[in-house]
Amino acid sequence: MTRSAPRNRRGRFALLSLFLSLAAVLFGSAPVPAAASGTWWEPTARPAPDSQTNVTGAPFTGKNAKGEVSGFVDAHNHLMSNEGFGGRMICGQTFSEQGIADALKDCPEHYPDGRGALFEHLTGGDDGTHDPVGWPTFKDWPAHKSLSHQQNYYAWVERAWRGGQRVLVNDLVTNGLICSLLPRDRSCDEMTSIRLQARKTYELQDYVDKMYGGPGKGWFRIVTSANQARAVIEQGKLAVVLGVETSEPFGCKMILDIAQCDQADIDRGLDELYSLGVRSMFLCHKFDNALCGVRFDSGTTGVAVNIGQFLSTGTFWMTEKCTGPQHDNPIGLAAAPPAMAEKLPAGVSVPSYASDAKCNKRGLTRLGEYAMRGMMQRGMMLELDHMSVKAAGRALDILESQEYPGVISSHSWMDLDWTERVYRLGGFIAPYMHGAEGFIGEAQQKAALREKYNVGLGYGTDMNGVGGWPGPVGENAPNAVKYPFRSVDGGAVLDRQVTGQRTWDLNKDGAAHNGLVPDWIEQIRLTPGGPAVVGELAKGAESYLGTWKKTEDHEVGVNLAAHVPASASTTEWWNPFVNYSAGRTVDGDTGSRWASEWSDDQWLQLDLGAVRRVGKVTLDWEKAHARAYRIELSENGTDWRTAWSTDTSDGGLDTATFDSQAARYVRVHGVRRATDWGYSLYEVTVHRS
């Protein structure tokens, strides 16, 4: 009796399998229980009705012959931006417990014909009207040029994962000013929105887990460490990293150039974000804030954003001539969109700008540096995109002074001249999701550097990020996708994606939603120069994890000069209430400084207290900096030798590195000034190497 029951169950199961196989032949399809076939990548209970993924085959698992993980990286996505901006800028949800009909519906004011879709009209997503109906017809959205409709429905994200993507960075995003100008159903406070979006991302993980049988079983895995991400990818699942891209993090906005936050706000904010699982972050986005100046937007969008900056901060963008080959985007000089221009006070208009002044005057502020160093202390990765070149250059100086690898450019908002500095540090770069030819062209510009540093490539889809996406190439284009096609890793076969009554074809529809990312990669593969780029994309997951792991493992070098005795040849004195003494350079306060009298031959000397090994000195100059100077070392304070020198310093943050050698005394000896003032230093640090 105890043996006959299993035998009967096996017999019944064999009969059921035969019936299902016959049904598949006769009627074209039949549900196969996932547990029976061992297909861990298929859910045991998907909601009905729901979108299809139109993918068959097993996801790639494990590691390659070199012991590396393989897979694509979407380094810049916004899964939950429908929860930002007051909840009514991006219409539709990534998921809903009530099902797809509830998730994929338009915003209330878009009914009955789209005339009330202010943001869609402003951004050119329609011609003044559109069909608001989503499920099941999807006549007008999502679309590659529609900027206000959901592109990240969970099943579309699932298709991207099944097609080879293994890392997705979900940037929690909002903007308080934009929120205040649009219909809304919630608070415009940016940190409140960030908290909500983080919570909804964890709820999405739970939602997927339910389909797969319980906690931890789904393919959507939020990760908070590089090792955790590697384990997820080796299982063939999607590692989801939380980032933040918002205009006023921690309330750090600026009003009439006065910061509305302090260091305590930054510390509390970073601690909270880290506890939420956030591991990468932008310090500024679209508007200059109390942390940094931004890289401009261009054209009509630039004018609209500049007006938004004025409404938020009380100041427009300010430009100056660039001091190096890098420059910000050309500033918007087009006519102001009426919907934005009417928001300006009477008599106020967008200023004009000199054509040869292409850089933002605002760089990385002292509060921004404090926030950046706070990120470094917590092992977080800095997003360089959206920083003005003045801010980005200063940020890279600081990162290099600490040899900190955690730097990312995730969607083509960084001057490409910074590329080697990013790679030299150990950082990661992902161009924006341009059309196939454009993406290949941008990738090829720096292919030699990727080979030199042995790194892979990512892409930033910016889905739900109001950026615009690749349009259709036509069914007869040389690089038209031939459906069905096999994924790059060889594990999956993908056909045209179907949701409800709508079938999407990349050739005819462009990159309308996240589920078409594998199709876009296939189009890149079919484009001249594309196979090599796709190969680099497949190395993206390993490279991203390498950057992250090195960031986590980084140890800040001990500053041998902290609070040591300091002296100087001279000290400027003109105000009895301001202290410019030498000790201000080693007090840990980046706002205090030493200043010399106004002549060339001056020095600042530090006593390390004992003979130590010294190999690196970092100098944070004020505007009154040295053009030529040398770093001198001594064991007794009498006999000096030059360890390093320059006659071309441009100020800012200088890092002098040299062969490690014994010294008790370190002296910065100014030879020639760069200004009519004396020499002025905020901070000096000394390290072993």
Neighbours of 343 (CB within 10 A): 18
pLDDT of residue 301: 84
From residue 73, give the alpha-carbon distance in Å to each of 241, 429, 452.
11, 10, 20
H runs (alpha helix) in 286-433: 299-313, 338-341, 366-377, 389-402, 419-425
Tell me the pLDDT band of 334, cut-offs 50, 70 and 90.
confident
| Pairing state between β 428-429 and 407-409 | parallel
Cα 24 versus chain centre, distance: 45
Residues 243-272 have pLDDT tens digits of 999 999 999 999 999 999 999 999 999 999
Average pLDDT over residues 675-685: 96
CA distance 466 to 95: 20
Cβ contact 54:159 at 8 Å: yes
CA distance 155 to 484: 18
Among candidate residues 612, 609, 658, 662, the one with its CA nearest the CA of residue 639: 662
Among candidate residues 362, 367, 370, 371, the one with its CA nearest the CA of residue 392: 362
End-to-end CA distance of the chain: 77
Tokens (6 digits) for 123: 């951004």
Tell me the pLDDT band of 38, cut-offs 50, 70 and 90.
low
Range name among 35-49, 411-425, 521-535, 586-600 with the lowest pLDDT average? 35-49
Higher pLDDT, 217 or 304: 217
CA distance 175 to 129: 26
- Beta-strand (E) ranges in 216-264? 220-222, 238-246, 254-255, 258-259
- Beta-strand (E) ranges in 41-99? 55-56, 72-77
Place of tokens 């003494």: 581
Range name among 77-81, 160-164, 573-577 with the lowest pLDDT average? 573-577
Higher pLDDT, 29 or 222: 222
Give the chain's largest Cα–Cα span: 104
| Pairing state between β 653-673 and 602-621 | antiparallel
Tokens (6 digits) for 514: 């996240």
Cβ contact 78:94 at 8 Å: no
The amino acid present at 402, given as its one-letter code, is Q
Among candidate residues 427, 401, 466, the one with its CA nearest the CA of residue 124: 466
What single DSSP character describes residue 330?
Answer: P
pLDDT of residue 13: 33
Average pLDDT over residues 444-470: 97
pLDDT of residue 335: 80
Place of tokens 């990818």: 233
Cβ contact 360:532 at 8 Å: no
Q: Is there a cis peptide before residue 49, judged by omega within 30 degrees of 0?
A: yes
Range name among 198-202, 331-335, 529-533 with the lowest pLDDT average? 331-335
The amino acid present at 389, given as its one-letter code, is V
With vertex at residue 666, the alpha carbon angle to CA 663 and CA 668, rounded to the nearest 5 degrees, is 150
Cβ contact 618:586 at 8 Å: no
Tell me the pLDDT band of 337, cut-offs 50, 70 and 90.
confident
Cβ contact 263:367 at 8 Å: yes
Average pLDDT over residues 356-376: 96
Tokens (6 digits) for 110: 């878009």
From residue 518, give the alpha-carbon distance in Å to each of 144, 162, 280, 493.
15, 9, 25, 10
Cβ contact 467:105 at 8 Å: no
Helix (H, G, I), strand (E, B) or coil at 594: strand
Residues 612-626 have pLDDT tens digits of 999 999 999 999 999
Residues 642-652 have pLDDT tens digits of 999 999 999 99
pLDDT of residue 22: 30
Tokens (6 digits) for 86: 């007051």
CA distance 144 to 151: 9
Q: Examine the pLDDT at 497 and tell me if it is beyond 90.
A: yes
CA distance 35 to 191: 42
